[in-house]
Amino acid sequence: MKLVTGNSNRPLAEAIANYLDLPLTDCTVKRFADQEIHVQLHENVRGEDVYILQSTSTPADGHLMELLILTDALRRSSARRITAVIPYFGYARQDRRAIGRTPISAKLVANMIAGAGVHRVITVDLHTDQIQGFFDIPTDNLYAAPVMTRDIEEHYDTKNLMIVSPDVGGVARARAIAKRIGADLAIVDKRRPRAGASEVMNIIGDVSGKSCLLIDDIVDSGGTLINAAEALLEAGAKEVSAYITHGVLSEGACERIGASNLKELVVTDSILETEAQRQTSNIRRIIIAPLIGEALARTARDQSVSSLFN
């Protein structure tokens, strides 16, 4: 078993390697002057079971190309099996044609990954479960719920908690957390007038006097969370925090969250932390390296991965 990483999130790759007590394979992933990506492996991988650790986070295109070129290098070096470990799968929000004359980019990227020579994909909290079906190769979707649940129980009084889904599409994800900690569930009825903008219309459930935790898979601009937090507080919530798997946090998001009514935003380390995140006092990170590491170990031993979430 060998671990290879690109440049998207080396600290996470190192943490996974430490969990597995394995070194990262020595390889070079660099760019020429014109930004063309070049990869060179400095170790023999012939006949090996190789895992590429690479989120397709900002810049999504560059990190995706690193993943594809690493895969080609491993395939041409006679690796026995190549598994792409993609903690954050970019393009996942483009999973359907919501309006005419638009692509289904998630399917296109899935085809590119399989076409490059990947034999299996392991990812964390896909935006929608049906994206697993976009891949024509085995795909394991891991869930951050056990890690979040443990952190919630350590930091919050679960007797007065209300788990909240920021939109109807995320109800299943929020319900899984609510079931684990024995809390009630509320839903924010959100309408999106245009891409990148959201407007909260209604709160489904009684949140009066409750400590509310918003649960979602991705936070990008932060607008949805901030609007949902304001609506919950107006509905009588005592305080509002959020647990989000993937902290995309595009430019300006950290400043908006820092100035918002959110008590705390908790994200995993699936995406590399930025300096803006480190300087924002109400953003905290939790670690998912042990979860991913255990999934890789079980995959290498041909053991059940789904039992991690039972």
Q: Summarize the annotated binding site for D-ribose 5-phosphate as residue ranges.
A: 192, 216, 220-224
Residue spans of beta strands (DSSP E) within 158-252: 161-165, 184-194, 197-204, 211-219, 239-247
- Which residue ranges are tagged as binding site for ATP? 34-36, 93-94
- Which residue ranges are tagged as binding site? 34-36, 93-94, 127, 167, 192, 216, 220-224
60 CB burial (10 A radius; 0-12, 13-18, 19+): middle
User: Could you give the CA distance from residue 247 to residue 254 in angstroms, rounded to a whole number?
Assistant: 10
Tell me, letter by letter, the H, E, C secondary structure of 24-48: ECCEEEEECCCCCEEEEECCCCCCC
190 flagged as catalytic: yes
Q: What tokens does 48 get?
A: 């090996």
User: Could you give the CA distance from residue 139 to residue 290 in angstroms, rounded to a whole number?
Assistant: 19
Handedness of CA 191, 246, 136, 41 (dihedral sign): positive
Catalytic residue (one of 159, 190, 210, 263): 190
The residue type found at 149 is: T
| Alpha helix ranges (H) inside 183-261 | 223-234, 253-258
User: Could you give the CA distance from residue 239 to residue 230 in angstroms, rounded to a whole number?
Assistant: 10
Ordered DSSP codes for 128-155: SGGGGGG-SS-EEEE-SHHHHHHHHHHH
- Residues classed as catalytic: 190
